[in-house]
Amino acid sequence: MSTIFQSGITAAANSDALFITLNVLPNKETELKAALKQAHTLISEFQQSSPASHPHGVIAIGSEFWDTLSPNARPKELISFPNLPDSPATPADLMLHIRSNRRDMTYQLAQKLMTILSGLVALVEDTSCFRYLDSRDLTGFVDGTENPEGSHRANVALVKKEDDPDFANGSYIHLQRFVHNLDHWKRLALKEQEDIMGRTKEENIEYKSQDKPLTAHTKRASAKDESDQGLEILRHSMPYADLTQAGLLFASYCHTPINFNKMLENMMVGDGSGHTDKLMNYTKAVTGQAFFAPSSHWFENN
């Protein structure tokens, strides 16, 4: 069933995901537009043919590549990934976020999409992700506890018509791949880990605000606007791992890039008094990209 937005933006979490970043080969822009339209249609057809696995796909265009592909109209707030300490910007032209509740279905959809894009793109990176236990990060802590639920997911993730009529129902995406130092992390006592996170490990109970260290992840990764209202993002983050490397593929979807950028600044730059996110002593961001996922209407009319 077709929607006015890409369904993978707001749909509930799956147990399996594949994040693919791509660069477009020179002088392929015209062919690429047709291929992206075909790819968008394929995702919808795949969902209809394999509904039991709840497959979803999101196609997004990189901040640095947008004007090359679509020089006449640009999302109002689409800017480059922030250049901050310990948070590298590694631009890519395209992103495919493919997910389902079966690894084979995720793989099959990815193969079909890459066949459409064959000869037009070069692979930058592909990261296979999985749900770990009861939605925990590989640090052992539950991830995404504060994620929006129900219809509020769309309110957080989708651009509103009154804010940017030409790009309504699209979403600003920020992607980071973190590599965890789990050996270092596991040497910490439980209370040390919990203080770094600002929540208990097994029970997943967030510390009261007054009990959180100023360097706690839950304190530094939150942000407020000028009216002291909390800023939200829709997270689609998932762990990844093999026998040599493990970490988190962090994915933020939002109606504005401001919320993510403020959160990242709070973590990496801190509060001006030297209080940065202590969790960053145990994990390292190795990629950072900004994308925009247009509405279904955009693919059908470009």
Q: So which residues are the catalytic ones?
A: 143
Answer yes or no: are the C-beta atoms of 173 and 253 closer than 8 Å: yes
Strand partners, 61: 94, 292
Calpha distance 262→265 (Å, rounded): 5
Q: Tokens representing 32? A: 């690429």
Sign of CA dihedral 262, 264, 267, 270: negative
Name the residue with tokens 């099959």. Answer: 108
Instruction: Give 210: exposed, middle or buried? Use CB within 10 Å, 0-12, 13-18, 19+.
Output: exposed
Distance between start and end Cα atoms, the chain: 21
Instruction: Give 236: exposed, middle or buried? Use CB within 10 Å, 0-12, 13-18, 19+.
Output: buried
Calpha distance 54→8 (Å, rounded): 10
Strand partners, 180: 283
